[in-house]
Amino acid sequence: MYNKSLKELSHGLKNGDFSSVELTHEYLNRIKQHQDLNAYITVTEEIALQNAKDADIRIASKKADPLTGIPVAQKDIFCTLDVKTSCGSMMLDNFYAPYNATVIEKFNQTGAVMLGKLNMDEFAMGSSNETSFYGAVKNPWNINRVPGGSSGGSAVAVAAKLAAYSTGTDTGGSIRQPAALCGITGLKPTYGRVSRFGMIAYASSLDQGGPMTHSAEDAALVLQTMAGFDPKDSTSVDLPVPDYSANLNHPLTGLKIGLPKEFFSDDLNIDMAKKLAEAIEEYRKLGAEIKEVSMPNLKLAIPAYYVIAPAECSANLSRFDGVRFGHRCNNPVDLTDLYTRSRGEGFGKEVKRRILMGTYALSTGYYDAYYVKAQKIRRLISDDFKKTLTEVDVIMGPVTPTPAFGIGEKMSDPVEMYLSDIYTIAINLAGLPAISIPAGFINEMPIGLQIIGNYFTEAKILNIAHQYQQTTDWHKQTPKGFA
């Protein structure tokens, strides 16, 4: 059953070929079998089986939605009522959320089965899933390699078939990058498309939740459930949600694809360039026109992001002070001791580095030089995209500079680690939607193709991704031992 698409699972459940309880048991067994991948922080077996029983009743009474009864796993950044919500941090190791994130509520309403909470980089800061308090997650394509981050657990859960699909969040690439490195499909929606209510904040002006799935067809179904206006999130956008599944089959004749010369310069890894050229050739065969475009400010994305994201995180993470929730140190002698020791003990090294950088960038005397300057660059980058997207329908490019790197390889060099997001970060700064789809292998490790569209054109992006997946089978490959 675990090899089926979401549509096939839904049909199977409705036809009575198998029950949600059976399907859920199958995934729970696989999770136990493959614990060494460290994809899950918490397995919610009891909740899953209860959800499955409820789903079977709902299916029998013919009130099922497309995702009713299908097992999902959630990134441990989404608050889940009475279930540990750790955000990958010791700080929240004892935190049981008092409410559900809107995204979780939506999955509950549709009758999805929650298998558990997925491992992630601490507070979503990282590109390798090595900063988690719960240890590194392993890539099922090669367990000595990283799965990417921060939604590494989410990518592995799907790639290794430990859930039918999962959720991730993307602040600078955290859905697309691990999706690419694990050979799955990951969609970062337009900023404001999916509610951030109850999604623990890293950098609020950049964070966006989205689906991680085997295919664009699956992603269309999952986004349908996740998307929509939420009055509880002031940055949620009140626009109608199109029928994503109904739009997958438009032909691509005449589609204008832009290839930014800054993405395809001599700096691009030669094997990566070759694989991407093959993918783009496939689009040409599907009727697309390919055009070179230029976005001169793309090169400023990493420095701008690594001012803005830490600045926002230093503000967002100030709430973890040992007073209201989260880790509290033993026997504080006074208030300052309580703050400093609780935060000193609760946060890991990378999170502390970001808080320090962000506090510095926001401090009097440096604010204009760093933060304001970075915001101006952000505007220039958005303008580059806006202009380019009047010339072409979508932009394509790499997701990552290389396939998955080795565990431990970049941990001592943060700048090298930050460069893993060189192709994804600009999209968050502009707030645009983008997908990563499997586009082949380099040395037996998967790589992704990125498709970036205009604001709120997720339906079009999914259509373009789906058409490619109709003529290629990269997205159907499974790591050895997980088929």
In sequence order, which residues have a C-beta less than 8 Å from that of residue 183 and are 6 or more positions away? 141, 159, 438, 441, 446, 474, 475, 477, 479
Identify residue 176 by its one-letter amino acid code. R
Between 43 and 92, name the residue whose CB sits nearer to ligand GLN.
92
Q: Is 75 a catalytic residue?
A: yes
Angle, vertex CA 56, rays to CA 52 and CA 61, nearest 5: 150
**In angstroms, what is the minimal distance from the CB of 190 to ligand GLN?**
15
Candidates 20, 127, 150, 436; catalytic one: 150
Q: Are 438 and 446 in contact (CB under 8 A)?
A: yes
Q: Is 89 a catalytic residue?
A: no
Instruction: Give the whole-angstrom CA distance, residue 471 versus residue 55.
Output: 34
Give whole-number Cα distances, 150 to 348, 356, 383, in Å.
Answer: 14, 20, 27
Q: What is the CA radius of gyration of the chain?
A: 21
Q: Is 53 a catalytic residue?
A: no
Give kind and range of the element (H or E) at residue 446.
strand 445-452
**In angstroms, what is the minimal distance from the CB of 354 to ligand GLN?**
8
**In angstroms, what is the minimal distance from the CB of 91 to ligand GLN?**
17
Residue 350 main-chain phi, psi, to 5 deg: -65, -40
* Binding-site ranges for ligand GLN (CB under 6 A): 124-127, 150, 170-174, 202, 309, 421
Between 251 and 406, name the residue whose CB sits nearer to ligand GLN.
406
Q: What does DSSP assign to residue 281?
A: H
**In angstroms, what is the minimal distance from the CB of 135 to ligand GLN?**
18
Candidates 19, 75, 245, 342; catalytic one: 75
Q: How many CA atoms lie within 13 A of 118 on its CB side?
A: 34
Candidates 20, 132, 174, 436; catalytic one: 174
Residue 398 main-chain phi, psi, to 5 deg: -70, 165
Give kind and range of the element (H or E) at residue 23.
helix 20-33
In sequence order, which residues have a C-beta less than 8 Å from that of residue 316 and are 6 or more positions away? 201, 202, 203, 204
**In angstroms, what is the minimal distance from the CB of 458 to ligand GLN?**
18
Between 299 and 353, name the residue whose CB sits nearer to ligand GLN.
353
Active site residues: 75, 150, 174
